[in-house]
Amino acid sequence: MGSKQRHLSILLAGLAVLGLAGCDSAPEQSAPPMPLQVSVLTLQAHELSVSEDLPARVAAVRSAEIRAQIGGIVQRRLFEQGTEIKAGALLFQINPAPFKAEVDSAAALLQRAEAMLARARLQADRLTPLMRAEAVSRQVYDDAVALREQAAADVAQARATLARRKLDLQFASVEAPIAGRIDQALVSEGALVSPTDATPMARIQQIDQVYVDVRQSASVLEALRQQIGSAMPEPDVEILGSDGKPLGMRGRILFSGIEVDAGTGDVLLRVLVDNPQRRLLPGLYVQARVPRAHYPATLSVPQQAVIRSAGQASVWVVDAQGQVQPVPIEVGELIERRYRVVSGLSAGQQVVVEGIVRLTPHAHVVTRPWQPTVNREQLSAIER
């Protein structure tokens, strides 16, 4: 009995200690939790332009291949390779001696035909009064008239031959059909050229303006057309180098694509760019920053503020009582680490950007303005 009473006394003492401990911890559990500190962004409507960087190639606005229109030996090259030339400038001189001889021969034939015509006219004029007086037969007169008409036709043919020979002589001096920059000569002095040659004598490209050709999805291009036709201003395309750095050049879109590539579903988007300094050369690989959409007034939130659960995007919003609530939203394009808000938010609301991890619905928070971090590239740009 003494042993049982001793165990009972120990058990009662333990329960008393636990009771006292429970009384001490009760005040601690009832104390309100400390509010969490978060960084918030107050939403404001702003203008937003959405663009896409696409690979592109430069092409000349006008290009001409210089070819011989007659056969002959090249005597001289009359231009400096790689220079700017004007339309009509003399480029090559083909040996003109054979063509001068043909011109002289055609001129002699014309002179002979004109002499024959003069004789035939005189003969027909003489027979006219005799035929009226019935001194000669009608047949003799008709033969004289026929000879006169034939002589007139011979004169016309000789004149046409002479004009053709003069044109061949003119073609011996090869001229520039357009103004532009001429490449290297593809033939040298002493070369035999002809109109059937596969290789041209030289090439001229007009590059004071150039085309920047971009392949764009047909669906995106149609959406761009509709926006330009409604509220979007005339889009300017910014030209970037192959390394993605801006070249300080802009162009305007020419909707020249009329056929969709069956394999890729793309169309040709042609951009006309002024190139006064000749920085863009035909065949050069560049990038084109093509506008896709323009929003005069829209909202955007930082990428880190958006939470996704089961495919649904949401953000934490601070209400007037300093409590946070998750709000589902619909987001659009991601531009410079910020999502465009399609629906779910309005201007003036405070969205939590930093301190999201420990948040629960209706939790009290202490807010401070969110300061975006500056990355190294932006910092170096600011310092420059």
Q: How does pLDDT run across 183-235, given as a tens digit for each residue?
A: 889 999 999 999 999 999 999 999 999 999 988 777 766 666 665 554 444 56
Residues 249 and 284 in one domain: yes
DSSP 24-61: HHHHHHHSPPPPEEEEEEE---EEEEEEEEEEEEEEEE
Domain holding 160, by residue range, is 96-171
pTM of the model: 0.64
pLDDT digits (tens, 9 = 90+) for 9-51: 555 555 555 554 454 444 445 556 678 888 999 999 998 888 8
Q: 373 — phi, psi (to 5°)?
A: -75, 145
| pLDDT, tens digit (0-9, with 9 covering 90-100), for 124-182 | 888 888 888 888 888 888 888 899 999 999 999 999 999 999 999 999 999 999 999 99
CA distance 349 to 360: 18
Q: Are 290 and 220 in the same domain? A: yes
Percentage with pLDDT > 70 across the chain: 83
Query: Tens digit of pLDDT for each residue in 239-263?
Result: 999 888 999 999 988 865 556 777 7
Residue 268, pLDDT score = 80
pLDDT surpasses 90 at 89: yes
Indicate whether 377 and 300 sit together in one domain. Answer: yes
What value does the mean pLDDT take over residues 326-336? 89
How many domains does one find in the chain?
Answer: 4
What's 119's domain CATH number? Answer: 1.10.287.470
Sheet holding 173-175, edge to edge: 173-175, 90-94, 72-77, 192-193
Look up residue 257 and give its amino acid: G
- Domain membership of residue 29 (yes or no) is no
pLDDT of residue 203: 94
